[in-house]
Chain A
Amino acid sequence: MVKAEALTKCFGKTEILKNLSCEIRDGSIYGLIGANGAGKSTLLRLIAGIYYPDDGSLKVDDEEIFDNLKKKKDIVFVADEFYIPAGCTVEQYAAMYSVFYENFDYSFFWKHLEMVGLPLKGKIMNFSKGMKRQLVMLCALACRCKLVLFDETFDGLDPVVRNLMKNIIYNEVAERGVTVIMTSHNLRELEDICDCLGVLYQGGILFEGDIANIKSNVFKVQIAFKEDFSEKNFIGIDIMNVKKHGSVATLIIRGDRDTEKAKLEALNPLILDILPLTLEEIFIYEMEVLGYAYENLSI
């Protein structure tokens, strides 16, 4: 388990992360979203042991990571801008990883390389950006580490390859119980793969939670009554947002869907429709509740 407590990281006088606390459980796929400069990459580098915290603590399985050889053997980090030595071939690149990661699985690497259709030979410098990212991601996964960190995970990948890579990650998590932490500034990229999501804003986790819970516990209701009504009519219901158009109101409600539906039915509405929300919509409303304009988050 990755556990951050009051984590602070400064670049010079600028505080990138401020008192950040979070927990990422084993075997999950944790998505970090946030605007550029929110501190996503910094958090990943702290988890990877590249940076050391200025304050607070960051532990993986209750151990500090920085300069901890034992723990770092279980962590692999794929940066947004990945390192590819000049003139390096696919084979050499895999070999470079295998030097540092003793459990590097060549059979996994070659098998999946073939699967995604990457050339098995040739200089990497001739690859497209997406191809390079696939290669680096496969190398990282082939390291057989328990914790895999992807920064801007799917940047540059076309939809087909993106799905392919997501499937490979799924399998890794399912088969080996790998924990994956991935970042993106695009919520839509992560919503169908992550178990958990955390929103980073101005150096802190603004909001986090399991996607399944979020999706099932926040829903949209269209409701109409014979008489005029107001928010006061919905006492006991956790309404995140209300929009009224004439006699019809659209409510965003948080809570157990069946329980909340029963409560609403008890009010004898003329119309009661429960509509699904996209994750993005949920986040918009959640942010509004917290007092942040969604636009500012740029997710």
Chain B
Amino acid sequence: MLTKTSVFDVKYFRYVLKRMFPYSLVMALVLILSSFLMYGFGDGQYLLNGLMYYDPQMIGLTANVGMYIIPIALSIGMFGFLHKKNSTDFIFGAPVKRAPLFITSIIAAFIIIAATLLLNFLFVALMIEGFTGNIAIVAPQNYVLMYFYNLAGYMLVFVIASFAATLTGTALSQLLITFVVLLLPAYIICYLQLPFVTQYSGGYNNIEYIMPLNTIALLPDIASAPLTMIFMEASGSHIANYFGTLAYFANIRTICFTILLTVVYAVAGVYLFKRYKSENSGRAFINKGVNIFAYSGVFAPIMLIVFYVFAEGLGYDDMIGDVLFYIFVIFVWVAFVIASLIFNKGFSGFGKQMKLFFTLLITTCIVSGLLYVIGDNSVKSFNFRDEEVKEITVYLEPINTGPVDNQNVKGTYKKVKINDPDLLSLLSRGDQGRTFFFDVVTEKGKKLTLRSGLSELFIHEMYNYIDEHEDIKKSLFSYSGAKKIVGATLTFKSTISGTYSSSYIDNMKEIKRMVAAKELEYLDIPTRDLYMSNLNSGVYSYSYYNGGIQAYYEEGGNMYLPVSENSLTLTLSALRYDNGQYFISHYTMDYDSEFFTNYANDIHKTTEKLIRDIDSYSDSFEASLAGAFDLDDEQYLNLSGIIESLPNVMREEFIEAIRQAIKEPIIPENTVGIYISTDMKQSIIFMNIDRDLKPLIEKYFDKATAAIRTSRKGINMALGALIDGTESLCTGFFSNEVFVVTPEELADLIIENEDTVRKLLTDELSAEELADEYYFVHLSSDPYYAYDMRITMPITAEMLQQICPRFDYFESEAYFLDPENIDHVFYENNGKEIRDRDEIEYLTSLLKYHYFLSEIHDMQNTEESYYYDYKYENYYAYYDMRFVGKDGQIEFAQIPETDRVRDIISTVKTIKEDG
């Protein structure tokens, strides 16, 4: 029977707390300092910008970095008495029972860790208050969740480290066993998933994905180098990717599971600790062979880390990395010899030391080699001829891949065996582009798992092939089910926007159209089932559907193929609760489609919980419709208008309405889900149409209507651009936006609407004018359009507001905006002089465009990027021109290449500059 003394020892508790106090202090300082260094400054400047609100789990992230250091250090400190015979004698000789000693240590650690983390979280909160002056921006529920998530994680790692302490008698071996216990299960599972485990540089943390309930979030690639993450990735982009996923893991279920694991290890620890052989203290393991192997196990990853540091730093192909690695090994050897001489006071015992060293070196090399070979999870390539192929098993990605992105996780894929010779040939040929995996069985019975690439052309060919073969189509359906076959094609779809090779650029649009058209034929299931839960990388990867035609978004590169010019694209978001996590799927679709109504009616059936974490809103506030409602066309139109005109028209009132809705949550009925997204976070709040929105609709009926027309215009412009063959950029079409397709259009836009824009931004614009003339200019530097003239940052309405007054009153520049003041324009590159008055007038009008960009450039401090893009990519070009005034004043400007400019340049004669 459990008694008070059988589980807890007060005197030992006091003793250990006192003893560990310095540790606790150091831990707290390390965490706080990390928080400050990681988030106080640097590129993110999360604290300075108050962005901690958006992502309070970043505080947890700091704590997570420490999750694999602090609890282990604490455990080594707390059970450090096992590492020396004299301290083992003292503690185990003292009147303390072993089980309560172990349990008491855990309780003490709990208090220390809880206090330390609390200090850290409080400190961060104070920093937010200090930097932003508004502590209220911290979202309490996330904050608390992250606190407990970290607390649970820390305790688990501590208990595992303590469990490890019961198996051995040195700090090093405790460390080794701790990491083995922590990582081996994950590693084994990863290994079993081969070849679907993304390689180290893949940017995905498969251990997280495969083992969603473990807390091993920071050490993704045990296979290659167990500690690499801590040492290398802690400051790299992986962390950025990581915290995107962390949020999904920080839920009650995860915490509970972590606690359960902790209890299991604690119970096992108590059992082993009671039977701990004190005679082993100070020795890793009694068996010498095991001892050496254990130490090698510690050294091997360390050596691998060094290798990785060099290799990563200098590039894998760079031999210097290898050379440096060997230099390092030699250095270690020399250091060992010197240390041996010092500690042995000469060469006595040197031979023994050397023997030990070489034994360690050899075993370390073996262990390193094993780790490297086993850990090298890249799929080996094999050569085989098409005719040798007997059967291919393709892994189709299911529609719902689970709580997070399970791409590359073999177990989540559906197998489809293919025997058709033509299809086999097609598949085995492979291509470039995004990779996929398939098993091949040759005639000789050899089974290979291969990785092949899929290009757009290949996919297109695949579609055609499947389309032409009813039997294959049926076969695929029979394997995967009607819904899943579309999921399978989704895998292929992702290729469409995944990578672009230059050779396909010219054909891209046509390919996409064709592929999309093919896809349509397969979309005979409700579109609402088509989605990919692909949010793990933050807000950058969505899948959108536009009335049945794919609009795929990936990494900021957007592209969509509208059904018709009359379609008004709205965002519909489904909030899904699955396996303890929330997913938001987005759809864009034609508002009057039958599908939309059906979907809207069903949405709440799949929504088990709501996220209500909106406390305040940022400048990047963005909202769109998300819910189920039975609105008539007019209501719907107006509501859409409200949403779409939010940023400027009725922002504050709308936000206030949302606040009210949060305060008084409602059962989703006759409601609209408002999708709120910021750069860092997404949420949905359900609002009652009558209670929350009706007043707004009534009040802003006119403006909303106007705004929605504006939006329609923007989309139509984009459509036009698509239709006339010009590549279009359609980023962020939820708001009022105009999609400026070419510099010429942008220039025209500003030149033609200067007065309107100014009026708009100074609130002088009527609803009618607003409807026609409100523009939100958004430019982008998406890699796909890198050769295009784009500005790297969006030009917001606020910026225009700042520019406008200046735009109208360019003091020094105003002189050049009057064509009457210009004597001639000189083209810098070839010395052509332009003196035609019409041409000068035209070029002067374009000068405003140059001024506009200069202003934007100055405001945004975009350095040289857009100039560079413009000058050297030769798709659109600037012409460097010198405007020479009649008074001799000179203005240098970069005039965009329009057709007329090109004509002007080509027709004028080359005249040498005076003098």
Contacts and interface: CB of A to CB of B under 8 A. Distances in A.
B93 A50 contact: yes
B95 A79 contact: no
A45 interface: yes
B384 interface: no
| Residue among A45, A52, A77, A99 facing the most chain B CB atoms (10 A cut-off) | A99
Interface string A22-43: 0000000000000000000010
B92 A49 contact: yes
B93 A49 contact: yes
A52 B19 CA distance: 27
Contacts of A76: 93
Given A73-B95, A100-B95, A51 B90 contact: no
A17 B501 CA distance: 77
A194 interface: no
A69 B274 CA distance: 13
A273 B275 CA distance: 59
A185 B669 CA distance: 89
B274 A81 contact: no
B342 interface: no
B86 A72 contact: no
Given A69-B97, A79-B85, A83-B89, A100 B286 contact: no
B712 interface: no
Given A69-B97, A96-B15, A83 B278 contact: no
B643 to A, nearest CB: 66
Contact of A51 (B11, B87, B278, B286): B278
Contacts of B286: 11-12
Interface residues of A, number: 26
Contact of B92 (A50, A85, A102): A50
Contact of A99 (B14, B84, B97): B14
B617 to A, nearest CB: 54
Given A11-B279, A45-B278, A96-B15, A101 B95 contact: yes
A73 B96 CA distance: 8
A75 B94 CA distance: 8
Interface string A96-133: 10011110000000000000000000000000000000
Interface in B1-59: 5, 11-12, 14-15, 19
B790 interface: no
Interface size class of B (residues with CB under 8 A): 20 to 34
Contacts of B89: 45, 48, 50, 77, 79, 81-83
A263 B5 CA distance: 65
Contacts of B274: 67
Contacts of A48: 89, 92-93
Nearest to A87: B22
A82 B91 CA distance: 11
A96 B11 CA distance: 10
A79 B86 contact: yes
B92 A81 contact: no
A51 B98 CA distance: 12
Interface in B267-293: 274-275, 277-279, 286-287
B533 interface: no
B142 interface: no
Contacts of A81: 85-86, 89
A79 B278 CA distance: 13
A45 B91 CA distance: 12
B88 interface: yes
A234 to B, nearest CB: 49
Nearest to A10: B279
Interface string A271-282: 000000000000
Given A12-B287, A79-B86, A100-B15, A51 B95 contact: no
Nearest to B15: A99
B480 to A, nearest CB: 58
A72 B9 CA distance: 14
Nearest to B16: A99
A83 B87 contact: yes
Contacts of B94: 72, 100-101
Nearest to A82: B86
A85 B86 contact: no
A100 B92 CA distance: 11
Nearest to B281: A50
Interface in B518-537: none
Contacts of A82: 86, 89-90
Given A11-B279, A12-B287, A45-B278, A83 B86 contact: yes
Nearest to A79: B89
B25 to A, nearest CB: 15
Contact of B95 (A12, A72, A85, A96): A72
Contact of A50 (B5, B88, B95): B88
Contacts of B277: 51
Interface in A42-58: 42, 45, 48-52
B708 to A, nearest CB: 74
Nearest to B286: A12
Interface in B79-122: 81, 84-90, 92-99
30 contacts: A11-B286, A12-B286, A42-B279, A45-B279, A48-B93, A50-B92, A50-B93, A51-B277, A52-B275, A67-B274, A69-B5, A69-B95, A72-B95, A75-B95, A76-B93, A79-B85, A79-B89, A79-B93, A81-B85, A81-B86, A81-B89, A82-B86, A83-B81, A83-B87, A85-B19, A96-B15, A99-B11, A100-B95, A100-B96, A101-B95
Given A50-B92, A67-B97, 7 more contacts: A42-B279, A69-B5, A69-B95, A77-B93, A79-B86, A79-B89, A100-B94
Nearest 10 A/B pairs, CB to CB: A83-B90, A100-B94, A72-B95, A77-B93, A83-B86, A79-B89, A12-B286, A73-B95, A50-B92, A81-B86
